Amino acid sequence: MAYDWTDTSRPEPVARDANIHREFMVYVWYPTDKKITAPQAAYLPGADKIAKEVSAKDARDFWGDAWQAIASGQIVTATTERAPIAPGAGKFPLLVFVPGLGVSSTTYTTAIQEMVSQGYVVASIEPTYEVAVVVFPDGRVVTQRAEATGRGLPSPPNETREEFLKRLHAFDAGHINKWADDMRFVIDQLTALNNPTGPNRAPFAGRIDLSNIGAWGHSFGGRAAVRACQIDQRVKACLDADGLGPDGPIFAYEGEKLPSQPFMWIEVFHAPPTAAQLAQYGDTVEQWEKNHSEQLMKNEKELAEYPGPSYHITVNLPGIEHSSFTDEPFITAKTKQDADRAADTLTLLNDYTRGFFDRYLKNMGNR
């Protein structure tokens, strides 16, 4: 189910108009009967409109040679639109998902479908202005803006590393809060839609277990998921998939305590940069090693001080990368070997994700 929601309590600063409020698309995925024979849903909603937009270059560049297959609808999902929910009276835990900067939440379709097929409702958010492109039901196509993400903007002249980190921290403080508030707003909306006697009854009405809600995100979205845990006790567990900042996987808000809900940080192995790569940024191997050592200490300090159950998993497999949590390595693979490797990696990452949420939202013990 696709929803166009506006939080009238929050203005959208990127719009530069106080009368425009925070608006974004949300896709709600829920379990159905696998015997349903309805047509499979397109991989990227609105791909045909995106293909016609000159300003949607980021989306086309992201997919490269695979873009034509996506835009033409050749790639489909294992989902159907507006299908009836799976029969029975059982309720399903809710996962609120946010993607990485610049990446549509539908790029995580395989991971989301896996969780839904195992008995979860997943609400995935498309953060307007902060993902490559968002298509609204009225035909509007809204593309990413650098001032919204804080990335890609020119740095002040002669900025030191310390000054850069301070500037990044100041920007991300409000940015992470905004995404966490998006997640909280989605919980509010789904709480209202979960009323089985309410108007405009949703297919999943009465079937969401609102006593078991998880926050889940990748990269920047992973840090926002932890923030949602920190400020909303309705969230019972949070998972950060390869999200890391200068102060660690959990953004350090001055004067605030770490969250206490169960927390998992899954990171993939990142090979150290070469001397040639570092030279492009005016850095040396020695300086990188020093900075990396300091970063590792910050990471472990946060985990050691975390008051609730916490897990840190590093996955190191051939060819693994930051995007391995998405469908991109599989869809853009040039060879069967690369496609199989991407699929195997994603399967393992999905197993860790499912195991964590099964334990804390389904009370499945040591699975």
Residue 198 reports pLDDT greater than 80: no
Q: What is the pLDDT of residue 256?
A: 93
Residue 217 reports pLDDT greater than 60: yes
* Higher pLDDT pick, 273 / 199: 273
Cβ atoms of 30 and 2 closer than 8 Å = no
Specify the range with the lowest mean pLDDT, choosing from 40-44, 48-52, 197-201: 197-201
Q: Which of 99, 116, 176, 179 is nearest to 357 (CA)?
A: 116
CA distance 231 to 227: 6
Q: Per-residue DSSP letters for 47-70? A: HHHHHH-GGGHHHHHHHGGGHHHH
For residue 169, give the H/E element and its range: helix 161-193
Residue 243 reports pLDDT greater than 80: yes
Burial code (b: 16+ CB inside 10 Å, e: under 16) for 220-246 equals bbbbbbbbbbbebebbbbbbbbbbbbb
Residue-wise pLDDT tens digits, 273-292: 899 898 887 889 999 899 99
Read off the pLDDT band of 366 (50, 70, 90): low
Domain residue extents for the chain: 2-361
Residue 53 CB burial class (10 angstroms; 0-12, 13-18, ≥19):
middle
Bridge partners of residue 134, in order along the sequence? 142
Q: Kindly report the pTM of this predicted structure.
A: 0.94
3-state SS assignment for residue 26 = strand
* Higher pLDDT pick, 153 / 337: 337
CATH number of 2-361: 3.40.50.1820
Read off the pLDDT band of 53 (50, 70, 90): confident
* Higher pLDDT pick, 187 / 171: 187
CA distance 74 to 70: 6
Give percent of the chain above pLDDT 90.
67
Mean pLDDT over the full length of the chain: 92
Per the listing, tokens 């108009």 go with: 17
Cβ atoms of 238 and 212 closer than 8 Å = no
Residue-wise pLDDT tens digits, 64-108: 899 999 988 889 898 988 889 999 999 999 999 999 999 999 999
Q: What is the pLDDT of residue 15?
A: 83
Mean pLDDT of 44-50: 88
Mean pLDDT of 161-176: 88
Residue-wise pLDDT tens digits, 178-190: 999 999 999 999 9
